[in-house]
Amino acid sequence: MKRFLYTFLFTLIIALFATESRAQEYVPFPLSNAIWSEVFTSKQPDEVETYQFGIEGDTVYNNIQYSKLYLLNDTVYPLSVGRYCGGIREDDMKRIYIIDCDCVMIPTIPIIDEVVLYDFSKSIGDTLFVGIYSFYPYSYFIINEIDSILIDGNYRKRFDFGVEEWIEGIGSTRGLLSPIQEQPTGYQKWKLICLNQEGSMTYLNPDFNSCFPILTSIDEQDQPPHLMIYPHPVTNTSYLEVGAQLASYEVLEIYDVLGKLEKRIAIAPGATRIELNNKDFRTGIYLVVLKAKNQLPLTNKILIINN
C-alpha cells in the first residue's frame, strides 16, 4: 500500500511539474503566415481606419535573415502584399528586431537601422530599451507587472508597462509597431484587433467581435475618453479632466522621459478633476497615465515648466 502511495505521489508530482513547465514555455514571435489586424482612430479630424500587417517571404540585411513585413491588400493567404514595411526577426534571447521600417505613422522618417521592437527576456522591475527615439515612445520601458494569459491553448506572459501591454507571441495590444510609434497628445489611438495565424484566429481583442470588422465611427469601438490638461503647458496650477468617466479610474501615475515614476495620485471617489502644480516637478515632458483594474490605461503627454 505504501509503495502504491509513493508511486502515486511521485507520478502526481511529475505531472504537476510537467504542467508547470508547459505553462512557462516561451511562445515565439510569429514570423510566417501571420496577420495583425489593427485600427487607428482620430477625432481631429474624425477618422477611423482599419488596416493589416502581414508576413510574406524572407530577405537579408547585413548577412542576417529577416521575414518581410507588409501592409496588406487583403486578409487571406496567399497574401496580396502592399507597402513594404521592413524586415523583422527574433534572436535566441527572446528579442524581436525590425530594420528598414517605413510604416510607422508618427514619426514619418523611415527607421533605416535595426532596432529592438520587443524584448521578452526581462523580469518585473527591469528597464528595457526599444527603438531609437529619446522623446516618445520612451526609449526605456519599465516593467510594472508580469502575469500569464491563456491564449490558443498556451500560457503566455503578459508584460504591463503602465502605458502599454505586450503579450508573448503576439506583440503590443496597441498594435504591432506600437513600441516605436509616437503617441501624440490629440485624440489619436492605435489598437490591435486580432492576430490571425495559419488561417485561424489566435488572439481577439475583447473590444471586438470579429478579426476584420467594418467600422464606420469611433463610437462603434467604445473608445476611452480623452484625458484633457488645462491650462497647458503647466506653468502654475493645471487640471486633468476626463469628464464623468474619471470616477471609473483608481490612480493617476506620472512618468518622466526615462520612464521613471515621479508621482502617484489616488483618485478620490466622485472626483471630477485632478490638480497638478508645477512646483512638484522639474521642467520637462511627462507622461500621465490613468489606471484601473480591467481597463486599458488612458494616457497623455504634458509639458511642465518650473521657473
CA 229 to each of CA 42, 217, 277: distance values in angstroms, whole numbers, following the listed order: 18, 25, 12
Structure confidence at residue 153 (pLDDT): 75
Percent of the chain whose pLDDT exceeds 90: 24
- Reported as a single tens digit per residue, the pLDDT across 210-248 is 787 766 555 545 444 567 788 888 888 888 887 656 767
Mean pLDDT of 77-84: 74
Please state, in angstroms and rounded to a whole number, the distance separating the CA atoms of residues 189 and 259.
20
Model pLDDT, residue 108: 56
pTM value is 0.63
pLDDT at 107: 56
Confidence label for 21 from pLDDT (cuts 50, 70 and 90)? very low
Model pLDDT, residue 90: 97
For the segment 40-53, what is each residue's pLDDT rounded down to a tens digit? 887 656 677 888 99
Percent of the chain residues topping a pLDDT of 70:
75
Q: Which pLDDT band holds residue 170 (cuts at 50, 70, 90)?
A: very high
The rounded mean pLDDT for the chain is 79
pLDDT digits (tens, 9 = 90+) for 243-274: 656 767 888 888 887 778 899 998 888 777 88
The answer, yes or no, to whether residue 63 has pLDDT greater than 60, is yes
- Do the Cβ atoms of 285 and 300 come closer than 8 Å? no
Could you tell me if 211 and 193 are in contact, meaning their C-beta atoms sit under 8 angstroms apart?
yes
Sign (positive or negative) of CA dihedral 244, 247, 249, 255: positive
- CA 145 to each of CA 4, 173, 175: distance values in angstroms, whole numbers, following the listed order: 43, 15, 20
Grid coordinates 476626463 are at which residue? Answer: 242
Cis omega before residue 184 (within 30°)?
Answer: no
How big is the chain by its Cα radius of gyration, in Å? 22
According to the model, what pLDDT value does residue 138 have?
45
DSSP code per residue over 100-156:
SB---SSS-S-B-S-EEEEE-S--TT-EEE-SS-SSSS-SEEE--EEEEEEETTEEE
**Which domains, and CATH codes, for the chain?**
34-221 (no CATH), 228-304 (2.60.40.3080)
How many helices and strands (H and E) does the chain possess?
1, 21
Per-residue pLDDT of 121-158, as tens digits, reads 999 988 887 875 433 344 567 888 999 988 877 889 99
Q: What is the pLDDT of residue 180?
A: 84
Report pLDDT for 166: 94
| pLDDT in the model for residue 27 | 92
Residue range 7-25: mean pLDDT, rounded: 49
Model pLDDT for residues 88-118, shown as the tens digit of each residue: 999 999 999 999 988 876 655 667 889 899 9
